[in-house]
Amino acid sequence: MKIHVSKSAINQKRTWIIVCAIVIIAALIGIWTASSLRHAKIITEVDQAYAEAKATAKAVSTSSKASRDNRLKAINKLSKAQTIVTCSGEWWSGWYDTLLPTAKAEVDDCIAKLKKLNAVSRVAARANVYLDDDAKVAKTLAVMKVATGSGNRQKTALSSVESALRDIEAMAVTGDNKVLIVASKEKLTVIITAWNALNEASSKEDKMAYQKAEGQLAQAYADLGAISDASDTQVKKLIVALQVTIHKL
Amino acid sequence: MCMGCSIGYGVTAGVMMLASSSTAIATNNPADYSFMRETLKQVQLPEIEQPEWLKKQLAAEAAEAAKTKKAATTMTVTYDVTTKGAVYASLSEFKLLANQTLNDSRGWARMNVKFVEVASGGMFTLVLSEASQLSSFSSGCSAEYSCRAGRYVIINQDRWMGATPSWNNAGGSLRDYRHMVVNHETGHWLGHGHSSCGGAGQLATVMQQQSIDLQGCSFNPWPLPSELWSTQLGI
């Protein structure tokens, strides 16, 4: 039995096939082009960003004229740089990076750079958190400044130390600020104890005890330097870590 | 959301912030990052006002210390010895007894004063004088008693040798009289005037005129504690 297929039907099918092929080829070319552009954009941006970071870090590590505020702002900004996990494009362009060896090499290089940038950001964030806490403690301790001419200095001094201690006790303790918090609490407690001893000796009109408490009080205030020492140690540790990380850029 | 976009732009944004700021990580001096040290430098122990009770205690102690210090300081008073007129009494004995009297622990020496005899140029001159020569020192001096005139502390030889009738009649010893007369006349030089008996039966003050009348007091050759002062020496 013979099957008769008309010529027009065959031609119609062929046309559809050609059209589909053209569409597919066009789509592939489009995706290829878009992926290529996307890949180039990411790589270029990371390269530029890395180069700029490196240049800045270099400038930073050789400049000592910036103000403290500017240093703190810089660390704060560094700490807010986003954490990057990959240099690969989106799902529709990711295949491009794996298909071409050159693209893959560029992505690998990009990832290495991002790792370093992320490390700087992470260490800067840690330093930034500590420096925030350090500034809060310093601000809290500043209430202990009692003007020489102010009335009822002794009462004001004691209440200001008690207030500072309460505020510091309310602060959250972290691994980095623990030494500072502990030193602050300890030194303030010693001052409060000495003030109380002085007041008690005064109420009892006990000259020996009063003079002893005066000496203890003077020593207790002098020992506040231990808080500065704790702060210095921690700041130095975190800044050195940041410098080391920046140096690796 | 396009993850790749956020990754790329995030890095750029972060690093651009870094690049745009005038950062300085060059120093690792903590003071370049922390306010702590400069804040704590301003936290000082306020001046503690001394309570009233302590002020009083310290003032009392200071006064006591000053008193002790004053008492502990020995002042040296120099004097020279001479005679006037015809003197038959032993000058060496006079000198010795006068010096013992002046430096006796019962006498003016209790003011922490040390009397030192010098050959000449003393702060006062102790004179053993013939009785008739007393008036040559001052019209206020008489041949009967001893006297003090200006820088001269004059002991009447007659009194030195025999005290006074009233003294002798009352049973006083010559030695005590000699102590008394040296102390009395030196007391004038120290700035004392005459004083009276404080009450019957009491010890006479050394500045009382015991040679004339005891006024009911008993003999006393030595200055009483109340007499231990001297305008001459500022004590």
Indicate the number of domains in chain A: 2
Q: Which residues of B touch A66 (CB under 8 A)?
A: 22-24
**pLDDT number for residue A56:** 61
In a domain, A2, yes or no: no
**pLDDT number for residue B155:** 95
Q: Could you tell me which residues come within 8 angstroms of residue B28 by beta carbon, excluding any fewer than 6 positions away? A: A236, A239, A240, A243
* Residues A175 and A196 grouped into a single domain: yes
**CB-CB neighbours of B157 under 10 Å:** 25
Between A102 and B90, name the one with better pLDDT: B90
Q: Which residues of A touch B40 (CB under 8 A)?
A: 138, 141, 224-225, 227-228
In a domain, A130, yes or no: no
Q: Which residues of B touch A224 (CB under 8 A)?
A: 40, 43
Task: Give tens-digit pLDDT for A192-242.
Answer: 999 999 999 999 999 899 989 988 998 899 899 999 999 999 999 998 998
* Residues A114 and A176 grouped into a single domain: no
Task: Give tens-digit pLDDT for A118-138.
Answer: 888 889 899 999 999 999 999
The CATH superfamily of B72-227 is Collagenase (Catalytic Domain) (3.40.390.10)
* Residues A150 and A92 grouped into a single domain: no
Q: Within chain A, which residues score under 70 in pLDDT?
A: 1-5, 55-66, 80-86, 147-152
**pLDDT number for residue A66:** 67
Specify whether the CB–CB gap between B36 and A228 falls below 8 A: yes
Q: Which residues partner with B129 through β-bridges?
A: B84, B156
**pLDDT number for residue B86:** 92
* Residues A121 and A12 grouped into a single domain: yes
* Residues A20 and A106 grouped into a single domain: yes
In a domain, A1, yes or no: no
**pLDDT number for residue A60:** 52
**pLDDT number for residue B22:** 39
* Residues A113 and A189 grouped into a single domain: no
Distance CA B155, CA B133 (A): 11
Distance CA A191, CA A216 (A): 8
* Residues A111 and A143 grouped into a single domain: no
* Residues A191 and A229 grouped into a single domain: yes
**pLDDT number for residue B208:** 92
**pLDDT number for residue A55:** 64
∠ Cα A187 A190 A195 (to 5°): 130
Q: Compare CB distances from B26 to A63, A198, A228 and report the shortest one's residue.
A: A63
Query: Predicted confidence band at B19 (pLDDT cuts at 50, 70, 90)?
Result: very low
Residue A73's SS3 state is helix
CB contact under 8 A, B19 and A89: no
**pLDDT number for residue A200:** 94
Decide which of A60, A95, A125 is a domain's last residue: A125
Which residues span the domain enclosing A192?
A: 135-247
**pLDDT number for residue B201:** 85
Decide which of A88, A107, A125 is a domain's last residue: A125
pLDDT beyond 70 at B52: yes
Task: Give tens-digit pLDDT for B150-187.
Answer: 899 999 999 999 998 888 887 889 999 999 999 999 99
Distance CA A66, CA B25 (A): 9
- The answer to which of A18-27, B66-75, B110-119, B208-217 has the lowest mean pLDDT is B66-75
Best probe of the B interface among A239, A242, A248, by most B CBs < 10 A, is A239
**pLDDT number for residue A156:** 83
- The answer to which of A169-183, B66-80, B122-136 has the lowest mean pLDDT is B66-80
Q: Is A61 exposed, middle or buried (0-12, 13-18, 19+ CB in 10 A)?
A: middle
Q: Could you tell me which residues come within 8 angstroms of residue A96 by beta carbon, excluding any fewer than 6 positions away? A: A32, A35, A36, A38, A39, A89, A103
Q: What share of chain A is helix, strand, coil (3-state, %, to 5)?
A: 80, 0, 20
* Residues A179 and A94 grouped into a single domain: no
**pLDDT number for residue B31:** 85
Best probe of the B interface among A42, A113, A212, by most B CBs < 10 A, is A42
**pLDDT number for residue B213:** 81
User: Pairing relation of β-strands B152-156 and B147-149?
Assistant: antiparallel
Query: Predicted confidence band at B138 (pLDDT cuts at 50, 70, 90)?
Result: confident
Decide which of A125, A145, A164 is a domain's last residue: A125
* Residues A14 and A82 grouped into a single domain: yes
Tell me what the pLDDT averaged over chain B comes to. Answer: 83
Q: Compare CB distances from A52 to B6, B16, B53 and report the shortest one's residue.
A: B16
| Encoded tokens for B76 | 């040296």
In a domain, A209, yes or no: yes
* Residues A27 and A97 grouped into a single domain: yes
Cα–Cα distances in angstroms (integers) from residue B208 to residues A28, A183, B171, B212, B219, in the given order: 140, 76, 17, 9, 10
